[in-house]
Amino acid sequence: TKEVINVAKICENRKEIKPVLHISVNRSAEIQEQRLKLPILGEEQIIMETINDNPVTILCGETGSGKTTQVPQFLYEAGYALDGSIIGVTEPRRVAAISMSKRVAEEMNLSTREISYQIRYEGNVTPDTRIKFMTDGVLLKEVQKDFLLSKYKVIVIDEAHERSVYTDILIGLLSRIVPLRKKKGNPLKLVIMSATLRVEDFTDNIRLFKVKPPVIKVDSRQFPVTIHFNKNTPQEDYLGEAYKKVCKIHQQLPDGGILVFVTGQQEVHTLCAKLKHTFPFHKAAKHVKLTKCIKHGDEPKTNDLPDIKLEDYSVLPIDEQSELKVADNESESLFVSHDTGEEPSADEEAEDLVFEAPPDGSRLCVIATNVAETSLTMPNIKYVVDTGKVKTRFYDKVTAVSAFKVAWTSKASANQRAGRAGRTGPGHCYRLYSSAVFNDSFEKFSPPEITRRPVDDLVLQMKRLLVSLGALEKPPAPKSFKETKGEMCAKITPLGHVMACFPVSPRYGKMLSLGHQHQLLPYVIAMVAALSVQEIFVDNLQESTTEAEKEEQKQRRLKASHVRKTWAGFGNSLLLGDLMVMLKAVGAWEFDGGRSHFCDEHGLRYKAMVEIRKLRAQLTNTVNSVIPEAEIVMDPQMKPPTDLQARLMRQIILAGLGDHVARMLPELPKDADNAQKLKNAYQSLQLEEPVFVHPGSVLYKSKAQYVVYQCVEETSKLYMKGVTAVEAEWLPLFVMNHCQFSKPLDDPPPKFDQSSGNVVCHMTSTFGSHFWSLPAVEL
Ligand code: ADP
Ligand code: MG
């Protein structure tokens, strides 16, 4: 049943940590009974021997076999958390980090002081913490502080098959850290855990591990799952199909939970609402009604349908922050990474409900995104309804535009989904697509995230890491790293060092560094915080049922856009555009006391504002520690910048977003073919196609000649969002790397500046690959 590749390796290196102690854990009888049912329990001996005897171990097993909850406990019992050491476990999703830490604490009868978690802003880690669950982004940030990760004796990388960017990078780094720790006489164990797919990605990659690590496969009971394909060609309306299928299963098939896979939060809500409407569950007192029924002895009529219990389980996959986002907004720092901008509590609640058995006479129906594929196991699912769709981010490396698209998932993940039906007994999987489509249109695996997202933010962080690594051994300088982008080969400058210390994307780091030089830091901090958080304005009309509601929303939106115009002000403030509006929004909301009511009134997203507040505080601290002489005191309410300050801010934004410059296209004669289509169009530095200022921007129809934008969003057209106006003569000064300069002009003649020791001359230049000619500047 168990398969251990490379067993010979096990006996080597016996000298390494060999725990003699067995730390006892006081579990309840009930928990112990549940544990004994898990397939992984029977493998504890072989798993621990392999880990003890090898620096790196790969452990794979079906979802639900007990990897995440049990392996940390095995390690604890084997003494890996003694003498103040910590067992570190990383998860690509924060909801998994939180819920698994809770579950393990409960199983071990220990408190959250000992079994803790850490995600972006929150955690309950204490000096007593022995097992720490964290997102992979958090551990990556820790590597930057202590490259050797000295406080850990073992690191468990969970869900490695998901190939999330940070997990991939962590495994790469750990493959270097593990030998270094051995050299220092303080060995670190690495355990890579994955579902039973893609193991070769890690074992057969010779650049990762010099010695092929042993692989332990945990078998688990998997009952047969009958796959039913749709005969017809797939429907556009897969949500409607899913709805019909759930109704049919519920009305015609025997007991057993239903799990439906859709692509995003909105779909989860829509489908849930529709089903709740069709099968209303006993609302106020679901249990009471059932007991009453028993007391009075009235048998339910045979043709009565049982109630359906619906759980709205909309934990978002990591990727799905919000739709249609472009590189910059997304390419936040390692630290700011994994967040959906939502507080986790709602998801946690939903999750507890999923583990609860539904009341008698009802059926559990879980509507989920692909988070339910492998990271969370729900008991008693018998029917899986698979739309076959997944929402992923597609990133165009050339144009730097990224967009979320719904597409077919991979064969591997469709099979994972089907597997969810066979955990507790034989099950059925209804695929809402034909077998021909499955065979012809589904990829074998989903491509790793690292190939689907911009990497500029990672590059600087990685370079900084390599520099610290260089202090320890010769940097490995992987080839692909050099090839990815020319910029990477540029030397890391002192400014770059400062930039990399900030927990935000390097372009924002640059803005922070410049803000210091102009004493504008409080504004820049607020701005960067706002830019790092997704979707602070609620622009989209939510689905509303009645006409009256729609009308009310429309009115509210109009009012909000009017307020935004007044916030933008005039002069340099107005030219600062949407970023000025962001600043004002932050200040005004704080001034109002940070209430959610204010957000409703002004079209702001409350959770985004709370996130901004946290990030501002965090950035203020970081700035103070990186640049101690800055001595920034955070004033939440912030006076609006003066006209001069607003002008300097525009320059700082240009310096940070320099590759997001666009220039207005000359107006075409009225009768020209494209005149209407190209009205108010801009040519951007990066895209061939024309782009337009988003109608929600305060600079819409402003006819500003040069603008910088935060991101481009593709809907009916390519729209620039987060727009600021800049001046042509600033380009050669702030975005020098995109300019081609002329020979120095003779009129006026070059002169020697004694104070700086430079020759000052006038030069003209052209900008970008479109060769826009720029006015002469003194350089
Ligand atoms: P794996 O990591 O191999 O997918 P897990 O360790 O996550 O497996 O899960 C093992 C078992 O523990 C599963 O049967 C799952 O249903 C159960 N489980 C996990 N979390 C909870 C919880 N909070 N409450 C009850 N059961 C849980
Ligand atoms: Mg798991």
User: Could you identify the atom of ligand 1 that is nearest to the CA of residue 351?
Assistant: 23
User: Could you identify the atom of ligand 1 that is nearest to the CA of residue 69?
Assistant: 6
User: Could you identify the atom of ligand 1 that is nearest to the CA of residue 378?
Assistant: 16
Average pLDDT over residues 493-522: 71
| Pocket (CB within 6 angstroms of ligand 1) | 38, 61, 63-70, 103, 355, 377, 379
Q: Rounded distance, CA 402 to CA 449, Å?
A: 13
User: Could you identify the atom of ligand 1 that is nearest to the CA of residue 70?
Assistant: 6
Q: Is 405:263 a contact under the CB 8 Å cutoff?
A: no
Query: Crossing angle for the helix pair 578-591 and 521-532, nearest 10 degrees?
Result: 100
- For the segment 148-194, what is each residue's pLDDT rounded down to a tens digit? 999 999 999 999 988 888 888 899 889 989 999 999 999 999 999 99
Q: What are phi and psi of 363, to 5 degrees?
A: -125, 135
pLDDT at 502 (0 to 100) = 66
- For the segment 358-385, what is each residue's pLDDT rounded down to a tens digit? 666 677 888 887 766 776 667 788 999 9
Amino acid in the structure at residue 424: T
pLDDT at 552 (0 to 100) = 78
The residue contributing the CA closest to ligand 1 atom 15 is: 377
Measure 376 CA to ligand 2 centroid, in angstroms. 7
Q: What percent of the chain has pLDDT over 90?
A: 30
Does this model's pTM top 0.95? My answer is no
Q: Rounded distance, CA 778 to CA 568, Å?
A: 32
Q: Is the peptide bond preceding residue 749 cis, with omega within 30 degrees of 0?
A: no
Amino acid in the structure at residue 693: V
pLDDT at 156 (0 to 100) = 98
Ligand nearest to the CA of 66: 1
| Mean confidence (pLDDT) of the chain | 77
pLDDT at 49 (0 to 100) = 92
Measure 325 CA to ligand 1 centroid, in angstroms. 33
pLDDT at 51 (0 to 100) = 96
User: Could you identify the atom of ligand 1 that is nearest to the CA of residue 62?
Assistant: 3
pLDDT at 4 (0 to 100) = 42
Q: Rounded distance, CA 231 to CA 245, Å?
A: 14
pLDDT at 376 (0 to 100) = 66
Measure 193 CA to ligand 1 centroid, in angstroms. 15
- DSSP one-letter code for 537: B
User: Could you identify the atom of ligand 1 that is nearest to the CA of residue 374?
Assistant: 4
- Candidates 377, 380, 416, 420: which one to mutate for ligand 1, based on the most atoms within 8 Å of Cβ? 377
- For the segment 54-78, what is each residue's pLDDT rounded down to a tens digit? 999 999 998 888 999 999 999 999 9
Average pLDDT over residues 103-116: 96
The residue contributing the CA closest to ligand 1 atom 18 is: 377
Burial class (CB in 10 A: 0-12, 13-18, 19+), 571: exposed
- For the segment 509-521, what is each residue's pLDDT rounded down to a tens digit? 778 878 876 678 8
Tokens standing for 532?
């790092």
Average pLDDT over residues 93-100: 85
Average pLDDT over residues 575-584: 92
User: Could you identify the atom of ligand 1 that is nearest to the CA of residue 220?
Assistant: 3
The residue contributing the CA closest to ligand 1 atom 24 is: 355
Burial class (CB in 10 A: 0-12, 13-18, 19+), 71: buried
- Comparing CA positions, the residue from 489, 433, 51 lying closest to residue 229 is 433
- Candidates 59, 65, 102, 103: which one to mutate for ligand 1, based on the most atoms within 8 Å of Cβ? 103
Ligand nearest to the CA of 196: 1
Sheet holding 692-693, edge to edge: 682-684, 661-664, 706-714, 718-726, 692-693
- Candidates 44, 58, 69: which one to mutate for ligand 1, based on the most atoms within 8 Å of Cβ? 69
What b-and-e string marks burial along 158-183, b requiring 16 or more CB atoms within 10 Å of the CB?
bbbbbbbbbbbbbbbbbbbbbbbbee
Q: Rounded distance, CA 511 to CA 344, Å?
A: 30
Q: Assign 467 a pLDDT band (cuts: 50, 70, 90).
A: low
Tell me which of 71-75, 186-190, 223-227, 768-772 is least confident: 768-772
Q: Is 120:69 a contact under the CB 8 Å cutoff?
A: no
- For the segment 688-706, what is each residue's pLDDT rounded down to a tens digit? 889 999 988 999 989 999 9
Average pLDDT over residues 584-596: 91
Chain position carrying tokens 């600087």 = 460
Q: Is 642:572 a contact under the CB 8 Å cutoff?
A: no
Q: Is 385:430 a contact under the CB 8 Å cutoff?
A: yes
Torsion of CA 351, 356, 361, 367, to 10 degrees: 20
Tokens standing for 66?
């007990």
The residue contributing the CA closest to ligand 1 atom 22 is: 103
Measure 69 CA to ligand 1 centroid, in angstroms. 6
Amino acid in the structure at residue 275: L
The answer, yes or no, to whether ipTM is higher than 0.95 is yes
Measure 238 CA to ligand 2 centroid, in angstroms. 29
What b-and-e string marks burial along 517-526, b requiring 16 or more CB atoms within 10 Å of the CB?
eeebbbbbbb
> Please, what is the end-to-end C-alpha distance for the chain in angstroms?
73
CA-based radius of gyration for the chain? 29
Q: Rounded distance, CA 764 to CA 775, Å?
A: 6
What b-and-e string marks burial along 683-695, b requiring 16 or more CB atoms within 10 Å of the CB?
bbbbbeebbbbbe
